[in-house]
Structure 1
Amino acid sequence: MSESAPNGWEEQTAKNAEGEERKLCERYAPYLMFDLREPFLPNLVGFSCLGVEEESPSFPRSFEEADHRTEFVLEYAIWWDYEIGHIYQLEQVWIYVGPNGEVLDCEVTFHGRILKGLLKNRSNLSDGSHVRLFAQPGKHALSPMPEVFELLPDLYLGTGQRAGADGLYAGGEIACSLPAGGDAEEVHARVKRYLRSFAFKPALEYTEYRLLSEQLLPWPQLRETIPVRLSDRLLELELIFARDGLRGVEESTAERRMRRSRESGSIEKEEAR
């Protein structure tokens, strides 16, 4: 037998395992609810199928206190290229699956903390396997109840007056993917300016968004993709501003077009309702 045979077998086994994990993640993928005026929808989702003895690969946490019936935990690391305050966002959803495929529990991230995602009466569990979750307008923190967002004192400030305030935001590993030194200040100002053009007032009415199969990829692949996506977004912004000669102008023609287009779209939606 050739030396390459075992490698081929191992590669096929890994592909089969990834295929099974993908099927599970599609089966239990959360249904996300977004504000009608939300400017940024998810771009990609890194999935992982974990045992309760493992740790999350994308968030500093373990699952030691999981229901003892839990057979596995599905992690969805949801990636946005932009949120209303800064250039990227990563939010997590964890689905706890028990015997016979039952959804035992769900947890989500909420501004760096962990929040229960499945209501006690399970009323936000759709089709028996999809937890319905609401995303905070612009900021994308997750909750099973939209009323939670209305308790936040900066709900409207965050999407309006403070839009783009954090600009070139980065924390943890992702910080290594962004420019440093003198270039960072220029890029920071560019990102802030771009995001300010997306400022909006939340409608606090929500529409359902279902993740697409092509958006799902194993977490290690998403982690490797992040630096490339960030580089692409920053290059796009550089080209946008260079093309329109925006340096030193209070509001560019392009920015006015984007703002007016969104305002017009909001008016049309309200009239349609």
Structure 2
Amino acid sequence: MTTEPARSPSSSFDLVPRGAAVIEYTVWCDWDIGHLYDLEHVWVHVDAAGDVIAVEGSQHGRRVDLTGCAVDAGRPVVYLEPGKHAIWSSPVAMQPAFARIAAQCGPFAGNDGVHVDNPFGDRGEITATALDHRLAALKLKRDAFRPAFEFSAPSPCEAAPLAPWADLAAWIPGRIQSLISDIRQSVPHLEAVFLDCGDTLADESTEVKDETTEIVSSADLIPGAENLTRRLMARGYRLALVADGPRETFVNILGQHGLWNDFEAHVISGDLGVAKPHRRMFETALAALGLPGEAANRVVMVGNNLERDIKGANEASLISVFMRWSTRRTHTPRDASEKPRFAIDYIEDLPDLLERIELSL
């Protein structure tokens, strides 16, 4: 509470009492339907007798006048936007925003991951990895709902406890890290993505090859492959190259395009002495990432060869994704062992497919 103009201790706004004083309430929520962590605010202006004369609230980063909100037994009654917690004076005032709110609670749920663009993040008190952002988004996409826009007051047992801002501010960073630790354990997700190279990332028709050694010195990428690994890394996926051929081929091709170091592991038949579909190729890739064998059914293998990539992935219990971009090899499985779980025509379709797979886990 302040009786003089002052800076809000918990927001970016200046507080200017409209009467004798203004009281700031900071509302903490573990989750917003768009991201982990949310703070909203209510500012209550009172006269010298302590009676409410005006109320303001926060809505999506802005401060709004809540003139017209009810006052019950000397306390203002405000309403929280479903899923987003923005403060409104009444359901009637909120009604023009119902369509937007329904979209945010449904198809746009989970768009923002962990909320770190705030003073706690600026000070380094909360941090989140790319994986943390993805897991938070997956949780919230699973939590998507259709708002009923039916409002009721909380029961006494549901009333939120009150604490001084200093105490809440000291508690928030630990609370966020606890929530992040929880989603790492509780949200089903893919552990890794294995990628082939030829006609999956690189265009085999453009290969420049030494006919005596079979080593490829250069090749173009297929359309969409240039940014794929960066897009996957930005979402926190762990990547392994699982490819048949001499190591030098893949060092040359992927190195030429700056992609070699995007892979956490490189499992190459020329090193192992066996080629796909041999199980050792996939087991070695799991081990290289420190994943146990039972994690195989949470790992995706993407390749263009039904006989090698898809059959090998299926027999190793991985999730097989057939890349159909090239017609250089057959698209018709010889038997059930070569039938892919999923298929894509273009490599840029992979990130969205991975999300759909994770949401189905």
Which band: TM-score by shorter chain?
A: 0.5 to 0.7
Structure-2 residue corresponding to 1:231: 177
Counterpart AA for 1:98: D
Q: Map residues 1-273 of structure 1 onto 2, 5 A cutoff.
A: 49-64=1-16, 66-67=17-18, 70-119=19-68, 124-127=70-73, 129-152=74-97, 153-175=99-121, 176-179=124-127, 184-209=129-154, 215-241=161-187, 247=298, 249-251=357-359
Looking at CA atoms only, which structure, 1 or 2, has the larger radius of gyration? 2
Deviations 1:96-131 (A, max 9, x none): 111222111111001111111231xx6x1111x111
Deviation (angstroms), 1:157: 1.1
Query: What is the CA deviation profile of residues 228-261 of structure 1, one whole-angstrom value per residue up to 9, with x for unaligned ones?
Result: 00010011111213799795543356xxxxxxxx
CA distance in structure 2 between the partners assigned to 1:137 and 1:241 by the alignment = 23
Q: Distance in 1 between matches of 2:298 and 2:93?
A: 40
The two structures have a TM-score, normalised by structure 1, of 0.65
Aligned-partner SS, 1:207: coil
Alpha-carbon distance between aligned partners in 2 of 1:236 and 1:50, rounded to the nearest angstrom = 38
| Whole-angstrom distance in 1 between the partners of 2:3 and 2:108 | 40
**Range with bigger deviation, 211-220 or 110-119:** 211-220
Structure (1/2) with the larger helix percentage: 1
Contact 2:189–2:298 (Cα < 8 Å) also in 1: no
How far off is 1:227 after superposition?
A: 0.5
Report the CA distance shift for 1:145/1:93 in structure 2 as closer, same or farther (over 3 A): same
Q: 1:210 offset after TM fit, Å?
A: 6.0
Offset at residue 146 of structure 1 (A) = 1.7
Aligned partner of 2:8: which letter? S
- 8 A Cα contact 2:56 2:66, kept in partner: yes
Match of 1:33 in 2: none
Q: Distance in 1 between matches of 2:88 and 2:144?
A: 22
Aligned CA-pair RMSD: 2.4
Provide the secondary structure at the position in 2 that maps to 1:206.
coil
Residues 162 and 242 of structure 1: CA distance in aligned 2, closer, same or farther (over 3 Å): closer
* Cα distance in 2, alignment partners of residues 196 and 86 from structure 1: 10
**Contact kept in structure 2, 1:86 and 1:192, CA below 8 Å:** yes
Q: How many residues are aligned here?
A: 195
Distance in 2 of aligned mates of 1:130 and 1:210: 16
**Aligned counterparts of 1:198 and 1:214: Cα–Cα separation in 2:** 22
- The answer to whether the Cα contact below 8 Å between 1:72 and 1:98 also exists between their aligned partners in 2 is yes
Identity %: 27
Shift of 1:92: 0.3
Residue pair 1:117, 1:131 contacting (<8 A) in 2 also? no
Q: Offset at 1:214?
A: 6.4
Measured in 2, the distance between the counterparts of 1:214 and 1:169 equals 22
The residue that corresponds to 1:266 in the other structure is: none
AA in 1 matched with 2:56 = E
> What TM-score comes out, normalization by structure 2 length?
0.50
Higher RCO (CA 8 Å, separation ≥ 6 residues): 1
Task: Letter of the 2:180 partner, please give it.
Answer: L
